[in-house]
Structure 1
Amino acid sequence: MTSDKFEMDELNILTDAPIEKVEVLAGKYLYYLQFTNQTDLIDMVAKHTLTNLIVCMDLLVPLKEEFYKAIRSEKYHFPKREKRGLQYVEVWLEEIDLKQSSEFFRFIMFVIELNVFTFIVLNPRGQLHDYLVNDKVRIHLRENEEIVVFDYDGAGAFYFTNKRLSH
């Protein structure tokens, strides 16, 4: 992940993880990434996606119309959530779809700048309910699985991985 497009800082996975958003069960490394646009985000995601990915966001009702305009994939659904009335959308993208999804990634950047809870699972080994428990992202990384949890202000993301990354 050597890129001068965004900054990357290594953090301690046990002490620096945003505990209001995540529950860390298994994982080795945590990085904080700062990027400025959807191209940087697409490049980072494409570089680390081997098979497919899940994008999950708490999609507020007024944003649903924009979501439908931005999404090109037929692989999405709105799972029922009982807690706090949150409405999550789960989107599955395959590696070959990433570069053709710039409008969708532009939408992702837009919603995270609005402080919408958003995360991405790269190379998932399960379904949304395996990762989203009690409105927190469960970090229990398996081989090649990586999770990106976006900061509320949209300035960056927490990147959980089992691989050490170089600057």
Structure 2
Amino acid sequence: MPSTLKTLPPADRQRLMDIAREVSFPQGARLFEEGGHADRFWIIRTGTVALDLHVPGRRGAVIESLGHSQLVGWSWLFAPYVWHLGGEATAPVRAYEFDAPIVRTMCQEDPTSAGTSPSGWEASSPTGCTRHARGSSTCTPRTAAAAPCDPGAPESTQE
């Protein structure tokens, strides 16, 4: 069980874990590419993922590295569901993978569920994604009652 989800109510946590799929990526594998369709997200169990920005004629510029229990990929949450960064395993990665359309459907069907709404994650903006001072793309669940889900919320610049 990822610690990222431990503060969620047990029923919400179980709903998410019921749709989780265990995956692994070797070092150097690309999880997603900037500009690609954002249809999934991951919670890292082991390993490290570097988020990078395309730089023409060069290797991607690493913006941030994410590791154990951190959520990778926020673009699935915000229309038009396009990756704003790329992601590469910088060490072998084992993760839980979540199908974004399924999670969005769960959110729409039960918008008060903290585990299945964007606002079930610690939020400081109406979109549900915390923008930390250092630009971190990671968030942690909160236990307060969630506000209604808004899958059509404005696009985030965070992965």
Give the TM-score normalised by structure 1: 0.29
More helix by share: 1
More strand by share: 1
